[in-house]
A and B are shown apart, each in its own frame.
Chain A
Amino acid sequence: MRFAPIMLAALATTASAQSGNTPAKATTPQVTKQAIEQLIAKLDREFSTGDGKSYTAWFSPDHLGSLAILGRHIQRLGTMTGTKRTRSSKIIGGPMQYPDRTVVRIQHVIEWPGQAAAKQPNRLIEHSYMAVHLDAAGKVVPTFAIEMPPKMNCVAERKFRCPPCNYEIGGVDGFLCVPLRREQSLALEAASFYLIGTNVVCDIHVLIPAKPKTAKASALTLASAFAKMEPNAKVGVATDWTPPMHKESPPLGLDSARVVVDLPQEQADAGGMRTIFHVVQFGGLQHILLVRSTVASLHNHKASIESLFKSYMLLEVDCEEAELATRPLRHHTGCKIEGSTYTNDRYGIELTGPKGWDAVPRIGGSAFRVHWMAPNGSQMWLLGHRVPSGMDAWTPKLADRWLNHQCKSKKLEPDATHAKSKEAKWHEGKDNSWQRTCTLTPGTDKQPGAPPRRIMHVQVYDDLLVIVDGFGATLQDETLLRHALRTLKRQ
């Protein structure tokens, strides 16, 4: 990242003003809407002429991590929109009063020139939350900003409630609920609760585990994955933990645990960084609550964090209901599996997998995803990707760009002989989609254990990119796979 060192230096200079370790006070004078609008206008000008570094320099950050991510986003937007970009923003929610902070929800309209033939400029609409406060000189200073999806499901009165996913959390003073896009969270649904004015955050992610595991094992899996990416992380022991609301009479079948992971070298002056993974498993669903902050902040804001955890509860505690796990899948992805046939009512997709192969729904950032696996190791995946944020539609060109990048990163190459065939070239399907089927082979730098050949079928619709991909352990299985991908249809 080219701007990162400079931006981070700027962040470091303002870090001393970080209020994460100081409990916020509610007695500070409130900031007027007009004053915030004036600040937003200045930030719009900064967006149009500056970059990620200069934009974030306006902030006296409460949370360094979220501001650094915002800086990256602004920088990328700048690269995408060019030098003749403009941004106009308006407050569409709030002001909401928090201790020592005022929070508003903002809509940003970003415009930049289109191609020469285009009469209208390109336009992108984004939403964000921003927190401000008055500094010692009485000046309105932004302390926190985070991009968020324009459409917010499951959020009402600062509370995150999802009956299909069987939980609610939030509605606690001091916390701001920020939903996360699925393509960014890689979960069925997710949200972050920021304790405004501090560096305390609690993320909640809803998953359906691919393999049955105990809550302790799941917590350790997550912590170990984290430790692999952060070599200085010190993983603690997984311990029993029960959500406070269910402590007195835990529902039958509830399995929950937690594990603490410390990063003692990070923000060592505040006792180091601490992340605490809480895993709650019930009825085939998995809720992960990740608390992250410095040790000092966690100590200072213990009461607030405990209040947030007390607000977490399962809505339905009858675990015997078999549909508990399938309900959120149906609700969030439209998925339904009968035998080896997958149907998706939301996107009108249907595909029948090879007979005898087990079909299992998977959770991730895609619109839907299913995995078929044969007893001998042959595998097949069906995926659907919605149009990425900021784009209007999928096209074969965009699909190629994405697929080629993915293949390259996985060290796969199109089979040169097959690439000349008719099916390997883009052609229009009966359902007005663009289609192609490719054979992929590992390059010279082959991943250990990787299959010698894969089949990839792609169908491009304006609103959806559908991919069927897999490999056969035997030639017979490869034939079955080819037959299965021909059953793909969209109504």
Chain B
Amino acid sequence: MSHHDDGQLPGGQQPGGQQPNDEHFDEVDAVRRFPSEDEWLDLPAPDEASPSSEQTSFADRVMRAREEEQELDAELQKLDAALPNDVLQHFAAPTPSTDFVDATVDVVMNDRRQRWQEMLSRYVAPEPSPAFVSRTLDALKDGDAGQTREAAARVAQPTAGNQVQGHPSHSNGHPSRSNWPVFTLVAAAAAAIFWLLLTDAATPPLELRMADQASPAVAYRTSSSPMSAILARVAHDEEPFALFDEPADGIWLSTTGEIR
């Protein structure tokens, strides 16, 4: 027994699941492990019947399938001949209207736009917290103070290269780049966020928002349940060309002025 026999797995696999490396391939050992003539005769015989029977059954199957298909075609041809023309015409596609293509493109584009909006709306960043806004405003305040100090330093050193002690210049001799546009933008953004937070406090309740999506002329404009608006939306999607199905509001009908 050679050293390769120690711990070697059938198929030449090394312990630990490693595959034998080509560099370590032992040709002598491989020849030695190949069955001898006597051993060859003792090996179990292959299944002799299967290849020929497979071939036979394959041919039969193909022929049978072909015959069945031909029979089916013949049956269908008979049925086609039996159907009267007026019945066949009944299933003919209607002639597309003149605006069919435009309408379809519109619908597809609207659908596409809507789906994109829905998908993108999932990734809208959450509103900043009040703490974030406070930190931003504080930072801006500090930034303003820093700017003021820097501006004072610049006034005190009219020539480049003369640095005031304790206030090293960031320009290193180059003309200093103003940060004001950046700060202005940040300030505007912070103000916008702050305004949004303030106005959000007065966001109408869900029931009112849903009711607001209905015309002032319809009765469910004052429904206390948002389900009415949802059902109206579903009904519109199911029957886009239905008219007059939303009941009138009595108060709207009886007033001539603007009523919301």
Please judge, given known A-B contacts A180-B224, A229-B229, A234-B122, whether A388 and B206 are in contact too, CB under 8 Å: no
In contact, A185 and B245 (Cβ under 8 angstroms) = no
Q: Does B260 contact A (CB under 8 A)?
A: yes
Picked from A181, A225, A449, A451, the residue with its CB within 8 Å of the CB of B230 is A225
Residues of B within 8 A of A403 (CB): 244
Shortest distance from the beta carbon of A294 to any chain B beta carbon, whole Å: 11
Given A186-B235, A203-B227, A365-B246, decide whether A12 and B121 contact each other with a Cβ distance below 8 A: no
A-B contact count (CB 8 A): 230
Cβ contact of B244, chosen from A146, A178, A383, cutoff 8 A: A383
- Tell me, in angstroms, the Cα distance from A391 to B220 when the chains sit together: 16
B244 touches A406 (CB 8 A): yes
Indicate if the CB atoms of B121 and A231 lie closer than 8 Å.
Answer: yes
Q: Which residues of B sit under 8 angstroms from A245, Cβ to Cβ? A: none
Cβ distance A145 to chain B, nearest Cβ, rounded Å? 10
Indicate whether A226 sits within 8 Å of B222 (C-beta atoms), given known contacts A79-B257, A385-B248, A388-B253.
Answer: no
Residues on B with C-beta less than 8 A from A449 are: 99, 103-104, 106-107, 240-241
What's the minimum C-beta distance from A124 to chain B, rounded to whole angstroms?
Answer: 9
**A371 CB contacts on chain B under 8 angstroms:** 239, 242
Given contacts A76-B222, A186-B235, A210-B238, A12 and B127 within 8 Å (CB-CB)? no
- The segment from B5-13, B64-72, B132-140, B196-204 that touches chain A is B196-204
Closest residue of chain A to B235 (Cβ to Cβ) is A364
> Once the chains are docked, how many angstroms separate the CA of A389 from the CA of B223?
13
Least CB separation from A233: chain B residue: B121
Are A12 and B244 in touch, CB under 8 angstroms? no
Interface string of B87-123 (1 = CB under 8 A from A): 0001000100101001110110010001001100110
CB under 8 Å from chain A, chain B span 218-260 = 219-235, 237-255, 257, 259-260
Q: Once the chains are docked, how many angstroms separate the CA of A225 from the CA of B114? A: 12
Asked whether, in the complex, the Cβ of B250 is within 8 Å of the Cβ of A391, the reply is yes
At the interface with chain A, which of B166-174, B182-190, B208-216? B208-216
In the complex the two chains form, what is the Cα distance from A290 to B207 in whole Å? 13
A364 proximity list for chain B (CB < 8 A): 231, 235, 245-247
- Binary per-residue interface labels of chain B (6-41) against chain A in the complex, 1 for a CB within 8 Å, 0 otherwise: 000000000000000000000000000000000000
Minimal beta-carbon separation of A343 from chain B (angstroms): 20
Contact bitstring A52-67, B, C-beta under 8 A = 1, else 0: 0000000000001110
Instruction: List the A residue with the shortest CB-CB distance to B237.
Output: A225
Measured between beta carbons, the chain B residues less than 8 angstroms from A147 are: 222, 224
User: How far is it, in angstroms, between the C-alpha of A451 and the C-alpha of B202 when the chains are bound?
Assistant: 43
Contact B253 A292 (CB under 8 A): no
Residues of A within 8 A of B227 (CB): 185-187, 190, 203, 205, 288, 290
Convert A1-28 into 0s and 1s, putting 1 for each residue whose CB lies closer than 8 angstroms to a CB of B: 1101100110110000000000000000
Contact B230 A389 (CB under 8 A): no
| CB-contact partner of A77 in B209, B226, B251, B253, under 8 A | B251
Residues A409 and B219 in contact, CB atoms below 8 Å apart:
no
Report which of A203, A366, A473 forms a contact with B245, defined as CB distance below 8 A: A366
Asked if A236 is at the interface (CB within 8 A of a chain B CB), the reply is no
| Interface check B82, CB cutoff 8 A | no
Q: B217 on the interface (CB 8 Å rule)?
A: yes
Instruction: Pick the residue among B107, B206, B251 that contacts A292 (CB under 8 A).
Output: B206
Distance of A176 from chain B, by nearest CB (Å): 12
Could you list which residues of chain A lie within 8 angstroms of chain B, going by C-beta atoms?
A: 1-2, 4-5, 8-9, 11-12, 64-66, 68-70, 72-73, 75-77, 79-80, 146-147, 178, 180-181, 183-187, 190, 192, 201, 203, 205, 207, 210-211, 221-222, 225-232, 234, 263-266, 273, 275, 288, 290, 292, 362, 364-366, 369, 371, 375-377, 379, 381, 383, 385-391, 398, 401-403, 405-407, 409-410, 412, 447-452, 454, 456, 467, 469, 471, 473
Can you list 30 residue pairs at the A/B interface with Cβ under 8 Å? A2-B260, A4-B204, A8-B202, A69-B208, A72-B211, A72-B221, A76-B222, A76-B260, A80-B255, A147-B222, A190-B227, A201-B225, A207-B231, A221-B234, A225-B230, A226-B226, A265-B200, A290-B226, A292-B226, A365-B246, A366-B247, A385-B248, A389-B250, A391-B250, A398-B253, A406-B217, A409-B217, A448-B102, A449-B240, A449-B241
